[in-house]
Chain A
Amino acid sequence: MTAGTMHSGKRDIWGLVLTVVSGIMMITGLYLAFVFAPPAMNLQTAVERFTQRVLYFHVGAAWVGFFAFFVTFAAGIGYLAKRTFFWDNLAHSSVEIGLTFMTMVLVTGSIWAKPTWNTWWTWSPRLTISAIGWLMYIGYLMLRSAIDNPARRARFAAVYGIVAFMSVPINFMAIRWWRDIHPAVVASGSNEGTGGFDMSPNMTATLIFCVVAFTVFYFTLLYHRMRLGNVEHEVETLKQKAMYR
């Protein structure tokens, strides 16, 4: 789809369908997290049992954050190979969404930590690497805003996006490589990681549903953000056209 057709006043059926589907899935995810999933009976206090329900959205947001940064990594390679606006737009859009979701991860994780660890924040390997990774992608946006030349901006951002992605696998493996207070949700029940926990089938189903719902939500946001990128590109092109007349 070109910038022109995306901007046209025609009804955006795909956008509408994606928005409605993701809205329904997110509300269903909320119902499952609050009502369907049983409380974690092994936790001692009521506050801990209630706050444990943060897990479903926290993990969903973390998955989307990591996935969004992977898309930026892949789009960076795509841009360096093809040098087309599509790949640059995809990479930039995905970082913006990924950063929002990683902010959610840091905020909801911190809120969960207060009643569970009795502190809002601790400099454990997982949390420290998460904070560094978040700052690295803030740097990506700062880099983009500092360069005026579109081709140079896209090239530098592509390289930066590829390098910054290194923080994602390190972040994922941090709780498996080093002793960490953060529980390992994936691979719990095995010897990997510390503080892992087992979930009942209803808890697992809720978690899987939330991860799928968040993925749909990500693609919906990506679709709308890329439309915005297309219009931005069109405005930039017209401005240059007007300037060099």
Chain B
Amino acid sequence: MADLLYLMLAYAAFWLLSFVLIFSIFNRQKKLNDELTMLKQLLKKEEN
């Protein structure tokens, strides 16, 4: 099992970084979508 340590470490690092990027994109997308909806409502309210 000790022979596999470096192999497992490398692949764990790869998947960890991949998921950090994916979650970062989706998290920012969600926040921005909420902000966009809020801004659109605000502008609509001001127009009325």
Name A residues whose Cβ lies closer than 8 Å to a Cβ of B. Answer: 7, 30, 45-47, 50-51, 53-54, 57-58, 61, 96-97, 100, 103-104, 107-108, 111-112, 114-115, 221, 224-225, 227-228, 231-232, 234-235, 238-239, 241-242, 245
Contacts and interface: CB of A to CB of B under 8 A. Distances in A.
Contacts, number: 87
Contacts of B20: 100
12 contacts: A47-B3, A57-B11, A61-B14, A107-B17, A108-B14, A231-B36, A235-B39, A238-B36, A238-B40, A239-B39, A241-B43, A242-B39
A239 B40 CA distance: 10
A221 B25 contact: yes
Given A221-B21, A225-B25, A245-B46, A115 B6 contact: yes
Contacts of A114: 6
A79 B33 CA distance: 26
Interface of B: 2-7, 9-11, 13-14, 17-18, 20-22, 25-26, 28-29, 32-33, 35-36, 39-40, 42-43, 46
A114 B6 CA distance: 8
A227 B33 CA distance: 11
B25 A107 contact: no
Given A100-B20, A225-B25, A235-B32, 4 more contacts: A104-B14, A104-B18, A108-B10, A228-B28
Nearest to A57: B14
Nearest to B11: A57
A107 B6 contact: no
A57 B10 contact: yes
B25 to A, nearest CB: 5
Nearest to A49: B3
B11 A54 contact: yes
Nearest to A107: B13
